[in-house]
Structure 1
């Protein structure tokens, strides 16, 4: 196998929405196209980074693209003569010191996505099938559980508008939804909690009072006092989960929260390596029978590293079913189906065209099946494919 070319660009995904921590007015994403040939075949794989992290043109141009294009055929070919994303990953990470998993993990993850897309295309199979055959004993799920992530803060958006948004998601086939909390502008803790409880109760009324169909997300804004205050108020609702209430690296404080809040906690989307994930499992007090791990392969060095993370979780008594990746993209959806994860996030109305799945694949009762499209399936999502094809 030989890397023929690597092209990169930057695509805007800006909007006026905000969560409890950041707004998305200047958000961008890196896009890449990696062309590979070998065994008489040629394929181009595509990749991009998830929302919440900015494009990485500098790191890609200065370090990771040159290393990938300079990789030898032996480095990117496995023992069966196939494209080897793990070998390519090792070539990209040459001369990188341990630690410091911030932005470089995003750059490597973008290229890793494209390499897996190309690998599956070269074999003429969907990525979920390739993953099931290589790593899951040939077993793939019939469909993935997905939930609609939204409920962002927006200028002039009140409770009525929030409820209308959630109604649209239900009409699209989702039965589980997620909304932002903790981000009411210009208010103290008491006022913010009062406002958020009104928002939560309105959405729960729409959901028939079933807290298991609603997730809430703080995006890491709270300290322990605020997290515990909200936890006490949220406990009676029995929500699907209470997401990222604390700074993602504050493991001991997560452990304290878990001692006081019995229902599920979700976190991990801002941890970008197997080692950081292991620290969370060792020291974060999370409970493998109920809590949710949201590591995003597109942001955390890609699937090569994510496979190491899944192995670590099994060694620590966690099931892959506890993993529901952040990002709402087709890459993670393939991984969820092929490796037997617990599901995947979805963005029906935001972060277009990167959020959402194939155009003609319906969501039914918060479950989505996979099309039989070689690779990740970008070609079945027209608006996204048009952006990616701009690199050709």
Structure 2
């Protein structure tokens, strides 16, 4: 008796591309005002395209802001050859193989962010093989997710512009507004947040983000000052790794505390969740892709925590749709030029596309902004 091979397909080619995405204007958050970073003028995006002998293709993405893009590309180029010949359905096995190929530089940070592009591409390919949107492959709890906009609320923007952008976003179907805080003059923060609340009204969800720039005493004072403004959450009031400090704020104030976007491993998220926080904000590219993000989701779900993934809405809308509790997805239009498709947004929600996989294809503009690429074939 002949036993059929369980192998469904083989990876025959991998192409990686480094794309420099320019921003219309340089943006500043609290890290710039404290002198720790320069204004952000571009985003380095890492794409992975994986092809198989059956003719399937998956597209994956990772990214870096301000620094690290060339490093991600270099690491991805070094470890990519281990993909050749593998069955693309064996995603967990392949993740481990990629990790061990570069294990000497660690299991978090830049190394897993490079792996993330391959991992996302494999999940995109797997969903395409099934003919399903990624969320449906994972098991969706909903076909749309609450969404809020961040890109209109940076500290470099005059308050008049912030108010106009907030009004425009709500009119265009965005469900909530987040603005940046952490100005050296805390009175400025309070005035800007109060102005936005008055402009959009009490019914529109409002969030703020301090980008890790308060110390513990300042965070205590600012959280107390913001309590009357009915905020959905206060994000990153403290250093990303001050788990105990965030937990204490969560216990002290009614306004929920959100953090997690800067963490780059499942282990770090597990420590944060054990410490105690209200809303977890994992980032799939930063933790190593969808495989590792699903582990973080499981940890958060076990504690009945709210979920609000950071950035890259094209990936996170699928993951948020598969989370048991009603989550949020962050809306940034920055990646729009990189893809041919657009996500539908209406009535405060971001809707899943019926297209298989992630539902996106790279645009000609993404190809034009490519600054480095590399292809390997079996």
When normalised by structure 2's length, the TM-score is 0.84
Match of 1:25 among 37, 40, 44: 40
CA contact (8 A) 1:33 1:44 kept: no
| Cα deviation 1:285-328 (Å, max 9, x = unaligned) | 32xxxx2111011211001111222223344x235xx1110014
CA distance in 2, matches of 1:125, 1:268: 29
Correspondences of 1:222-241 after superposition (within 5 Å) = 222-241=214-233
1:90 and 2:96 equivalent? yes
Contact 2:13-2:84 within 8 A present in 1 as well: no
The alignment partner of 1:229 has SS state of helix
**Gap change, CA 1:158 and 1:2, over 3 Å in 2:** closer
Match status 1:249 vs 2:262: no
Q: Tell me which residue corresponds to 2:18.
A: 9
Gapped regions of structure 1 (runs ≥ 5): 133-138
Deviation at 1:339, TM superposition (A): 4.1
Other-structure match for 1:145? 146
In the alignment, the residues of structure 1 paired with residue 338 and residue 352 of structure 2 have an alpha-carbon distance, to the nearest angstrom, of 17
Partners of 1:149 and 1:47 in 2: CA distance: 23
State the 1:83 CA deviation: 2.2
Query: What does the per-residue CA deviation read over 1:84-133, in whole Å, with 9 as the maximum and x for residues that have no partner?
Result: 2222211110151596622222211122222222222233322122211x
Secondary structure of 1:378's aligned partner:
coil
Among 357, 368, 377, the alignment partner of 2:359 is: 377
Q: Which residue of 2 aligns with 1:68?
A: 80
After TM superposition, the structure 1 = structure 2 runs for residues 282-321 of structure 1, keeping only pairs within 5 Å, are 282-283=274-275, 285-286=276-277, 291-315=278-302, 317-319=303-305
Do the aligned partners of residues 387 and 264 (structure 1) sit closer, same or farther apart at CA in structure 2, a change above 3 Å counting?
Answer: same
Structure with the largest fraction of strand: 2
Size of the alignment, in residue pairs? 352
CA distance in 2, matches of 1:208, 1:178: 14
From 11, 31, 36, the counterpart of 2:51: 36
- TM-score if structure 1 supplies the norm length? 0.81
Partner of 1:136: none
Report deviation, 1:242. Answer: 0.4
Structure 1 residues 83 and 24, CA gap change in structure 2 (3 angstroms): farther
CA shift at 1:338, angstroms? 3.4
Q: 1:33 to 1:99 in 2, by over 3 A?
A: closer
Deviation digits for residues 124-181 of structure 1, max 9, x if unmatched?
322122211xxxxxx4412111111130022xx3222211111110111113110001
Task: Specify whether residues 172 and 358 from structure 1 end up closer, same or farther in structure 2 by C-alpha distance, changes over 3 A only.
Answer: farther
The one of 62, 80, 83 aligned to 1:49: 62
Structure 2, unmatched stretches of 5+, are 1-9, 33-37
2:6 counterpart residue number: none
